[in-house]
Amino acid sequence: MSRPTIPDQVVPPPARAGGRRAAGRGVRPGRTRRGRPRGGGHAASTPHSLAGDAWRDLRRSPVFLISAAIIVVLVAMAAAPGLFTSTDPEACDLAFSRQPPSASAWFGYDLQGCDMYARTVYGARASILVGVLTTIGIAVVGSVIGMIAGYHGGWLDTLLSRVTDMFFAVPMLLGAIIVLATFPSTVQTPAWQTIGKVVLALGVLGWTTVARLMRSTVIQVKQAEYVQAARGLGAGSRRVLLRHVLPNAVAPVVVYSTIILGVFVVLEATLSFLGIGLRPPVISWGIAISEARAYIRQSPHMLLFPGAFLSVTVLAFIMLGDAVRDAFDPRLR
Q: What is the model's pTM?
A: 0.78
Is the CB of residue 119 less than 8 Å from the CB of residue 288?
yes
C-alpha of 224 from chain center = 26
Residues 220-275 have pLDDT tens digits of: 888 888 788 877 787 777 888 888 888 888 888 988 998 899 899 999 999 988 88
Note the pLDDT of residue 26. Answer: 47
How far apart, in whole angstroms, are the C-alpha atoms of residue 263 and residue 316?
A: 11
Note the pLDDT of residue 142. Answer: 94
Note the pLDDT of residue 9. Answer: 44
Note the pLDDT of residue 231. Answer: 77
Note the pLDDT of residue 255. Answer: 87
- Helix 172-182 and helix 251-273, axial crossing angle in degrees, nearest 10: 50
User: Buried b vs exposed e over 48-82: b needs ≥16 C-beta within 10 Å?
Assistant: eeeeeebeebbeebeebeebbebbeebeebbeebe
**Any residues with CB less than 8 A from the CB of 281 and at least 6 apart, and which?**
90, 187, 191
Phi, psi for 158 (deg, rounded to 5): -65, -45
SS (H, E, C) 72-119: HHHHHHHHCHHHCCCCCCCCCCHHHCCCCCCCCCCCCECCCCCEHHHH
Note the pLDDT of residue 305. Answer: 92
180-187's contacts with Cβ under 8 Å and 24+ in sequence apart are 180/271, 180/276, 180/277, 181/276, 184/276, 185/278, 185/279, 186/279, 187/279, 187/280, 187/281
Pick out the chain residues at pLDDT < 70.
1-51, 329-333
Domain ranges in the chain are 123-332
Note the pLDDT of residue 47. Answer: 55
97 φ/ψ sector (left φ>0, alpha ψ -120 to 50, else beta)? beta
- Helix 208-221 and helix 154-168, axial crossing angle in degrees, nearest 10: 150
SS (H, E, C) 16-65: CCCCCCCCCCCCCCCECCCCCECCCCCCCCCCCCHHHHHHHHHCCCHHHH
Q: Which residues pair with 134 in a beta bridge?
A: none
How far apart, in whole angstroms, are the C-alpha atoms of residue 48 and residue 292?
A: 52
Note the pLDDT of residue 50. Answer: 62
CATH code, 123-332: 1.10.3720.10
